[in-house]
Structure 1
Amino acid sequence: MEPVTLDTDRLLLRPMEAGDVDAVLAACQDPDVQRWTRVPSPYGRGHAEDFVLKIGPAGWREDTMYNFGVFTRDGGALVGSMGLVGFTPSRHAERVAELGYWTAPEQRRRGYTAEAVAAVVRWAFTEVGIDRVEWFAEVGNEPSRAVALRAGFTMEGTLRSWFVNHGTRRDAWVGSLLPSDLGLESRLPYLPAQPQQSPQ
């Protein structure tokens, strides 16, 4: 897919560029980013350069990850990174995508990340043809969970030993957002399960 740019009232979401490396490097020094996400730890300049200059562009080119740098429209400060990640052929066929994000420490508690989520998921539903956006976070990552809830995600449960973070298997929360949650139609019809009747 050709890279795209999205905007909201306060934010500009665009593919990252070489000039963003320093801001990404600074943001990823934050202990919470390193604790709760799978960015390398310690995080060096080479990691930031790889992410901005290689991994991000390759994701768009190969349809494996559509990542945005999130920036303030007033001043252009880096708010964070957000994208649809983890595409595989089977997930493409099923129209399912995973949403991932991190937020720079000085930009938290301003509603920026939830605002960016709203833009990305609407784009995913209306332009990419996604029918289900999934969110995962390690159990205990309350700020990420709060953003997902604010954006309208439904929490679906806890997955045991779901992923590896820093060499240890960890439990994860899982949530989802559907087009119908935003008043949009899905590409394929959706038949929700009916509540089961208790045996008489």
Structure 2
Amino acid sequence: MEPTAFTTDRLLLRPVEPGDAEAVYLACQDPEIQRWTVVPSPYTRADADLFTRELAPSGWRDDTMYSFAVLLREDRTLVGALGLGGRALPGTYEVGFWTAAGHRGAGYTTEAVLGAARWAFTALSADRLEWRAEIGNTPSRAVALRAGFRMEGDQRSALVNKGVRLDTWTGALLPADLGLPGTVPHRSATGVSGAL
């Protein structure tokens, strides 16, 4: 897919680019980001360069991961990062994100996740957006809940982070949850929803 940018009320989400390396490096010095996400720990400037110059652009090129810098619209300050990656089931994507320490609690990440979900449901023709986090990552779970994800339970040994298999919370968001049509009809346990 051609790299794409979009805006929300307060944010600009655009593809991660090499010029983001310093801001990404500084944000990822936060122990909470290193603790709860799969970024390397310790996080070096070389890690930031690899992500911004190689990994993020190749994900767009190969349609394997769409990595966005989450910026304030008013001054282009980096407040976080968000990625959407494809899962094995067609039309299913997984969202992951982190928020820079000084920008937590303002609702930016929830706004970014909702914007990315709308983009995935329209531009990618996604029919399901999944979220997962290590059990105990309550800030990530709070973002998912505020964005409308329905919690679907716990998964044992569902995430590998820094060489350790971890249990996760999981949730999902469907197009119908945002008032959008799906590409394939959904028959829920209680009847048909999200019909075309």
Superposition TM-score, scaled by structure 2 size:
0.95
1:174 aligns with 2:164: no
1:131 aligns with 2:127: yes
RMSD: 1.1
Kept after mapping to 1: 8 A contact 2:17/2:56: no
1:42 aligns to what? 42
Deviations for 1:62-112, whole angstroms, at most 9, x for unmatched residues?
000011000001111101110212x25x43xx2000001001001100000
Q: How does 1:96-135 map to 2 (within 5 A)?
A: 96-135=92-131
Deviations for 1:32-67, whole angstroms, at most 9, x for unmatched residues?
000000000011011000101100100000000011
Q: Which runs of 4+ in 1 moved over 2 A?
A: none
1:148 aligns to what? 144
Question: Equivalent pairs: percent with the same residue?
Answer: 55
Kept after mapping to 1: 8 A contact 2:159/2:167: yes
Aligned residue pairs, count: 191
Letter in 1 for 2:47: H
Kept after mapping to 1: 8 A contact 2:17/2:57: no
1:80 aligns with 2:80: yes
CA distance in 2, matches of 1:168, 1:18: 30
1:63 aligns with 2:59: no
1:198 aligns to what? none
What SS does the aligned partner of 2:132 have? strand
* Structure 2 unpaired stretches of 5+: 192-196
What SS does the aligned partner of 2:188 have? coil
CA distance in 2, matches of 1:18, 1:163: 28
Question: Which protein has the bigger strand share?
Answer: 2
Name the larger-Rg structure. 1
2:194 aligns to what? none
